[in-house]
Structure 1
Amino acid sequence: MKIEKVMVVGAGQMGSGIAQVCAAAGYQVFLYDLKPEFVERGRNGMNKNLSRQVEKGRLTPEQKQTVMERITPSVTLNDAAKVDLVIEAAVENMEIKTNIFSQLDEMAPQHAILASNTSSLPITEIAAATKRPEKVIGMHFMNPVPVMKLVEIIRGLATADEVYSAIKEMTETLEKVPVEVNDFPGFVSNRVLMPMINEAIYTLYEGVASKEAIDDVMKLGMNHPMGPLTLADFIGLDTCLYIMETLHKGFGDDKYRPCPLLRKYVKAGWLGRKTGRGFYSYE
């Protein structure tokens, strides 16, 4: 099962990062989004990332140009007909994802693998929207994609062994480390990470310590590179809330109940870095 051409659905921060590492590894990439300006914004982000690599001497200007030339902008899902692998990186919403996969199933060639970059949603349920559940798999990249080495590879109930093997090998060509995970809410990364972040928010909510003190304890005492509240702002508080709700619903266990303060901040539109304010101010 040879993968040469890839389509990335969604040109946001995650999608453009995935497109960049695929193009850098030599794959021809279609970068899709709903509007040309969304795709262009993603390409501009890639251009900035690669320019920094040139400035640091890690890439030549010619290598940067080659990477950018491997990426074809797309505003039609019909381009899935030309590829061997589609990686969906749309918003973390089951209805949106199943709708995309249903369309991709009709458009992609029979041999093509359909992967989702979901951070918490069940691959088995996404696969059920297609007539090829054996060719549906999870590829959960970490943010920022060009920097972080881990990719969680999630098997759905029907995912074929040869599909898993092909994606594992492809992930290694991206110079990432693939880790096999079974299909449970939050997989491994977010099942462990998000309750920690949620507990840090509860610690702030209950007045145990200031946000700075909570982050310092985890940085200086547990050797984390950044504190959990800073990390929540980086991820996006709306994303943190959505994943906690997915865990709470998926396991039916109140240990995953989102902190009321997290809900309050999201309702206020304080979503973290992307809005200029979360637990910290970024204006």
Structure 2
Amino acid sequence: LFSTSLTFCTDCFGNDHLQERLFSSSSRLSSNTIPMATTKERSLIASQGGRYCFSIICTISHLLGISAAALIGIWMGVYGGGFDWNGNWKSQFTFHPLFMALGLQFLFGEAILIFRMFPFANKKLLKIGHSILHASAMVLFAFALIAAFRSHSTAAIPDLYTFHSWIGIALVACYVLQFLFGLVIFFLPVIGESIRKTYLSIHKVAGIVMFIVSSATCLTGITEKAAWSVADWKLFSSEGLLVNFSALSLILYSISVTYLVICNRFKRISLFNG
């Protein structure tokens, strides 16, 4: 049974090196010589049950993130004036909440989850995927900011006077700095390994904190937009309910991603260098 489970694991990830190490561990275990297995291999064996739990929560998390972005898109498309980059100020602004939900929430969350979603993949490839997701998120929130400023200019609305806009701009600045520092420290060969290890802890904590702040920023933005545009919110109108379910999906997505990232039960175990 154990060998069958290991075969399934290695077939899924297609890593010959991993397969060799895992079956080596399996043979030692079948001979009742568990102490001979390395600490890393014993940790891997013990963690397999946690992978099923992780997969379930992670799948639900993906669905919540997609649902949140889709609901916000429907809200803006149906009730917010539609999407028209060169239209009136309302149809210009609708790109802002949609792109922010996709960039600063969904892609941000997927970027910090990628190392735990693929625990047996080559870490160098995961770093590239991590960077691509973050870069894509920055492209989206750049267009989101442009949409907000263009719509305000069209409607002669002042910029950066709300709490939402303040924390949003601060978050974007920190996000870009975090991305640039990450590229320099983790990709340039001239950076020493000791510096990388020291910065890695800071990078991880800063990423989680920024993700939580981005969730709060999106929620304040949703509340702000709804307070100005949903006239019959207190009457449980369809638009009001759409807003509430959008925010609820966003909250649950943020909670699930944060849990998956900080829970040591789901910590990545690397069996090879990189």
Same fold (TM over 0.5): no
Bigger RCO of structures 1 and 2 (CA < 8 A, at least 6 apart): 2
TM-score range, shorter-chain basis? under 0.3
- Structure with the greater alpha carbon radius of gyration: 2
Greater strand content: 1
TM-score by length of 2: 0.25
State the TM-score, normalized to the length of structure 1.
0.24
